[in-house]
Amino acid sequence: MINEAYIIDFIISCLRLATPLIYCTLGALVSMHAGQINMAMEGILLTSGLTGVLVSGYTGSIWLGALGAFAGGIIISLIMGYMNIVINADMMLCGISMNNFASGGTIMLIYVLLNNKGSTQSLKSLQFPNWEIPFIKDIPFLGKILSGQNVLTYLAFVMAVLLWFFIFRTKTGLRIRAIGMNPNAAASVGINVNRIRFQAYIYSGIFAALGGAFMTMGYLSYWAQNMMGGRGFIGISAANLSGGNVLIGTVAAVFFGATNALAIVLQTLNLKPELVQMLPYFATILGLVGISVAQKKRDEKIIRKAAMHVRLEREADAAKEVANRTAN
C-alpha cells in the first residue's frame, strides 16, 4: 500500500496544509518580537480570505484580490493595534473578541453582498496558480514535490527567509526587537514606540493575510464560514514555541501541517474522523508542553554551569589567598 506515489502525495499535502500555518507563524513572530501577542490571527485569516475572494471575484484580477486580502488583514490588525496601544485594552480579551468580530462580520458582509450566509461558492473568484518549474519537475522523486506547488506555498518559504532578514538584519527589525525587549529603553533613545508597534501589527496582518489568501484562493477556491478551524491559533503556538527563532517557527509550522496531513491520511484508513481530527490540536498542546520542558532543562543547565563557575572562582580565590598567606 505504501509506495512512492503515496509518499509523494503525503509530502505534498503536508506542504499544502503547512502553508497557511507558516504565514500565521511568521505574522505571530513579528508581533512577538514587538512584545505584543496578536491573538487575532484567526480573525485575520477569515477576513483576509473573504476580502481576497470578493475583490478577485468582482474585479477579475488576482493581483487586486491579493491587495484586497492585505487590506482585510491590515484592517483587523490595526483595530487590534488601536485597542491595545491607544486605549489599553487587555491583549487576550481583545484578540478573542476580534476573532468573534471577524467570524460574525464576515458572515454579515457576504450576506449583504451575495445574499448567502454560508459560503462564497456562488461568486466565481480566481485562484493563485500552481507553478511547474521547468527542469526541476523532471527529477524523478523530488521533482514531483519541488515542482507544481501553489505559488503561495513557495512564497511562504521565501517570506520566512525575508522575515529573518527583516527582523535580524534591518534597522526597522532592530527597532521592533528593541521595543519588544524594553520599550522604555527604546523610547529613551528616541524610538517612537507606538509607531513601531503599529508597524509590527501591520506586518503581522500582511503575513497572516497571505495565509488567508492561500486558504480561499489556493487551497480551496471559495470562502466558507468558520473555515479556518483554529489555524490562526496553531500558528500562534508555533511562534510561541519557536522562542522567536524564525527557522524553528517555520519547522514547527510544517510539523503541525504534517499532523494535519496525517489526520487526513488516517481518515482514509477507516479511523473515525472525529477522533483523527483531534490530532493537530493534541500536537499543538503537546508541542507547547514539550518545548517548555526543553527550555526548563536548558535553563537549569545554564544555571548549573553558572553555579559551577562561581564555585570554581571562589575556590580559586581561596587558593590564591592561602598562597598569599603562605608567601607572607
Partner 1 sequence: MGNQLKFNRFFVKYFEAIRTLVAVLIGFAISLIFIYFISDDPLKAISIYMFKPFDGIRRIGSMIEYMIPIMFCGLGMCMMMSVGQFNLIGDGVNFLAAAAVAYISTCLIPNCPPILFPIILIIAGAVIGGGFGVIPAYLQTKFKTNIVVVSLMANYILILGGVFMLLYWMRDPSKTYVGSYEIPDAARLTNLIPGTKVSTGIILAFLATAAVYWFLFRTKPGYQMRMIGKNAAFAKYSGINVVKFAILAQMIGGALAGMGGAIDILGKYDRFIWLASNGYGFDGMMIAVIAKGNPAYIPVAALFLAYIRIGADIVGQTTDVPLDFVLVVQSIIVMLVAAVSFMSGMRQKSVVKLANAEKAGAVK
Of 47 and 125, nearer to partner 1 (C-beta) is 47
Residue with cell 525587549: 181
Q: Are 149 and 15 in contact (CB under 8 A)?
A: yes
DSSP letters spanning 106-155: HHHHHHHHHS-SSBSTTS----PPEE--TTGGGSTTHHHHHSSEEHHHHH
Q: Are 234 and 215 in contact (CB under 8 A)?
A: no
To the nearest whole angstrom, how small is the minimum distance from the Cβ of residue 94 to partner 1?
Answer: 6
To the nearest whole angstrom, how small is the minimum distance from the Cβ of residue 130 to partner 1?
Answer: 30
Of 4 and 299, nearer to partner 1 (C-beta) is 299
- Secondary structure of residue 119 in the 3-state scheme: strand
Residue with cell 477556491: 221
Query: Which whole-number Å values give the CA distances from 270 to 27, 197, 264, 265, 277, in the listed order?
Result: 36, 48, 11, 9, 13
CA gap 45, 69 in Å, rounded:
9
CA gap 163, 242 in Å, rounded:
14
Q: Are 249 and 238 in contact (CB under 8 A)?
A: yes
CA gap 160, 317 in Å, rounded:
49
To the nearest whole angstrom, how small is the minimum distance from the Cβ of residue 133 to partner 1?
Answer: 36
Of 76 and 217, nearer to partner 1 (C-beta) is 76
To the nearest whole angstrom, how small is the minimum distance from the Cβ of residue 112 to partner 1?
Answer: 6
Of 7 and 108, nearer to partner 1 (C-beta) is 108
To the nearest whole angstrom, how small is the minimum distance from the Cβ of residue 283 to partner 1?
Answer: 9
Task: Dump strand ranges (E) for the chain.
Answer: 130-131, 149-150
Of 229 and 244, nearer to partner 1 (C-beta) is 229
To the nearest whole angstrom, how small is the minimum distance from the Cβ of residue 96 to partner 1?
Answer: 7
Q: Are 193 and 179 in contact (CB under 8 A)?
A: yes
Of 94 and 126, nearer to partner 1 (C-beta) is 94
To the nearest whole angstrom, how small is the minimum distance from the Cβ of residue 83 to partner 1?
Answer: 6
CA gap 197, 203 in Å, rounded:
10
Of 19 and 237, nearer to partner 1 (C-beta) is 237
Residue with cell 468582482: 58
Q: Are 237 and 281 in contact (CB under 8 A)?
A: no
Beta bridge partners of 119: 224
To the nearest whole angstrom, how small is the minimum distance from the Cβ of residue 251 to partner 1?
Answer: 18
To the nearest whole angstrom, how small is the minimum distance from the Cβ of residue 108 to partner 1?
Answer: 5
Q: Are 229 and 42 in contact (CB under 8 A)?
A: no
Of 65 and 95, nearer to partner 1 (C-beta) is 95
Give the footprint of partner 1 on this chain (CB under 8 A): 37, 39, 83, 86-90, 92-98, 100-101, 103-105, 107-108, 111-112, 117, 229-230, 233-234, 236-237, 240, 272, 274-275, 277-278, 281-282, 284-285, 288-289, 292-293, 296
Of 64 and 91, nearer to partner 1 (C-beta) is 91
Maximum separation of any 2 CA atoms in the chain, in Å: 97
